[in-house]
Amino acid sequence: MRFDTIIVGSGLAGLSAALRLSKTQRVCLITKKSLSEGASYMAQGGIAAVLSEQDSIESHVQDTLVAGAGLCNEEVVRYVVERGREAIQWLIDLDVPFTMDPENGGHFHLTREGGHSARRIIHAADATGAAVQKTLMERVRAEKNITILENHMAIDLITGQKLGLKDNRCFGLYALDSDNNRVKSISAGNTILATGGAGKVYLYTTNPDTSTGDGVAIAWRAGCRVADMEFIQFHPTCLYHPKAKSFLISEALRGEGGILRLPDGTRFMPMHDEREELAPRDIVARAIDFEMKKRGIECVYLDMTHKTPEFLRTHFPNIYSRCLELGINISKEPIPVVPAAHYLCGGVMTDLSGRTDIPNLYAIGETASTGLHGANRLASNSLLECLVFSEAASKAILENPSLEGVELPLWDESRVTDADEEIVIHHNWSELRRFMWNYVGIVRTTKRLERAQNRISLLTEEIEEYYSNFRVSQDLLELRNLVLTAELIVRSAMLRRESRGLHYSRDYPERLAQTYDTVLKND
């Protein structure tokens, strides 16, 4: 199979790039499950951009820099923020149904979230991701130049080095067709990794099952550098309920006056930060973690009972109805919440056009480390990043005509057999996620990291032996990617001998005066 560009991932970054490139290129869009299954579709809050006269570019820049705890690349921050209005207008022109504000002359309603000094979050009620993704999916499915390969998982990139060439550009990739368990060779002049994050490396996460660090692992194995992998954002408020898997309680609730309380009703955020419930996510998540461990409680509570049922149903219809289904009337009782792994701030190193270390290979969205988020992502900057960098990468690809593709070797299965015991995969998956949660979570110590590193080393040996001897499956490929991503997270965390943003170490509780990115190179 030959195309002009392969895009791996069907979130906002992947779909946006596919639409922009398909006007003049033959695009192959690969997604592990269906187009709609990903973190972008699940996004509730909205997209941050300067859209109001009461706001300013400088204010959004400064809020991002403050949240990033001194580690943001200011050039990148300004690049993204300055393109916010244009990015939102592109979605508006595609007919994304953003929520209007009838009290403000028919303008779009803007909400506020933690870390923001102004109302600048444009949204579609409390299901922004679904509204945006549905709109883009309709356009992508209707575009004749886009070939969609659902239920396909990228295995590894095919580079010049692998082909024995001096030219080490990316020529395409191998992908597993999960429907019939066949591996395909797919050739293209350019390849874009837009596979999302790695939340499934942790026991508790707001991420979908597809978030297994695929793009980071694939790029690392091909020889790309990764940066700042220690900065895992834990969302402060994931619904705590035995029947609710990974259901996020949007930050917008705190933006609209939500109060965090202990089981006895005591408010605790004023004791942790002067910004109280509107402090950045890392501070709120650490405060909740502290209170839970100190008091031996299983969750805390987010109180919205001071708001009317009409207000809650209007502004948060999905959260209101989902909680009601589970027996929680949020207008009369507080919502039980816990922190959960939410967002990977580090990733594959790129420039302002999404280029990686390997020619003709790009990374965009959560997979990439652009320098925008620093040590902690500001709420709702992630979807903005997807839009801005999908446009930047598409422009770079269109302005630099790619070289002709080459005939790629077929996948070699001559020395493998069918797996004898799948239970090995599931056991290792469970063990990995549990010790990552216990040892590499919100609060870390050197001893905990060393324990995690030892476990990862043993798991890696087992998984590589399994991978070498048996035919690949999606579960095996995801586990292989997860254990590698976990290794990169732990290695990065051990190199950072300070506490900054999302990385908090009891052994190094102070923040160093000098700043540095944690860059890992696969020699």
pLDDT single digits (tens) 124-154 = 988 899 999 999 999 999 999 999 999 999 9
For tokens 């969609």, what's the residue? 148
The DSSP annotation for 281-315 comes to HHHHHHHHHHHHHHHT-S-EEEE-TTS-HHHHHHH
Using a pLDDT cut of 90, give the percent of the chain over it. 78
H or E segment to which residue 420 belongs: none
Distance CA 216, CA 9 (A): 13
Using a pLDDT cut of 70, give the percent of the chain over it. 99
pLDDT at residue number 423? 79
The DSSP annotation for 139-171 comes to HHHH-TTEEEETTEEEEEEEETTTTT-S---EE
Distance CA 422, CA 106 (A): 56
For tokens 């803007």, what's the residue? 110
Distances (CA, A) of 370 to 345, 350, 354: 9, 6, 8
Give residue-wise pLDDT tens across range 339-376.
999 999 999 999 999 999 999 999 999 999 999 999 99
User: Could you tell me the two tokens for 475?
Assistant: 């579960």
pLDDT at residue number 43? 84
Residue of 359, 23, 360, 351 whose CA lies nearest to 190? 360
**174 DSSP 8-state letter:** E
- 239 within 8 A of 336, measured Cβ to Cβ: yes
Beta strands per DSSP E along 273-380 = 300-303, 335-344, 347-349, 361-363, 368-369
Choose between 355 and 41: higher pLDDT: 355
**99 DSSP 8-state letter:** P
- 1 within 8 A of 186, measured Cβ to Cβ: yes
Q: Residue 492: helix, strand or coil by DSSP?
A: helix
Q: Model-level pTM?
A: 0.91
Residue 492: CA atoms inside 13 Å, Cβ hemisphere, count?
A: 30
Lowest mean pLDDT among 73-82, 189-198, 426-435: 426-435
Tell me the average pLDDT across 399-426: 78
For this structure, is 141 an active site residue?
A: no
In this structure, are strands 226-227 and 519-520 parallel, antiparallel, or unpaired?
A: antiparallel
pLDDT at residue number 510? 96
pLDDT at residue number 405? 64
Q: Does residue 469 surpass a pLDDT of 90?
A: no
Identity of the residue numbered 129? G
Q: Could you say which of 120, 254, 281, 433 is catalytic?
A: 281
Give residue-wise pLDDT tens across range 251-308.
889 989 999 999 999 999 999 999 999 988 888 998 998 898 889 898 999 999 999 9
pLDDT at residue number 39? 86
Tell me the average pLDDT across 27-35: 95
Q: How many residues does the chain have?
A: 523
pLDDT confidence band for 102 (50 / 70 / 90): confident
- 154 within 8 A of 363, measured Cβ to Cβ: no
Burial label for 1, CB within 10 Å (0-12, 13-18, 19+), is middle
Tell me the average pLDDT across 235-239: 91
Farthest-apart Cα atoms in the chain, separation: 68
pLDDT at residue number 153? 97
List Cβ neighbours of 196 (8 Å cut-off, separation of 6 or more). Answer: 9, 11, 38, 39, 40, 207, 210, 211, 215, 365, 366, 367
User: Could you tell me the two tokens for 478?
Assistant: 């995801």
Residue of 334, 339, 338 whose CA lies nearest to 261? 334
Q: Does residue 123 surpass a pLDDT of 90?
A: yes
Cα of 318 vs its chain's centroid, Å: 21
**505 DSSP 8-state letter:** B
**403 DSSP 8-state letter:** P
Identity of the residue numbered 271? M
Count each helix (H run) and each strand (E run) in the chain, helices first: 15, 20
Residue of 307, 340, 349 whose CA lies nearest to 241? 340
What value does the mean pLDDT of the chain take?
A: 93
In this structure, are strands 47-48 and 152-159 parallel, antiparallel, or unpaired?
A: unpaired
User: Could you tell me the two tokens for 277?
Assistant: 């419930």
User: Could you tell me the two tokens for 412?
Assistant: 């070699």
Domains of the chain: 240-339 (3.90.700.10), 423-520 (1.20.58.100)
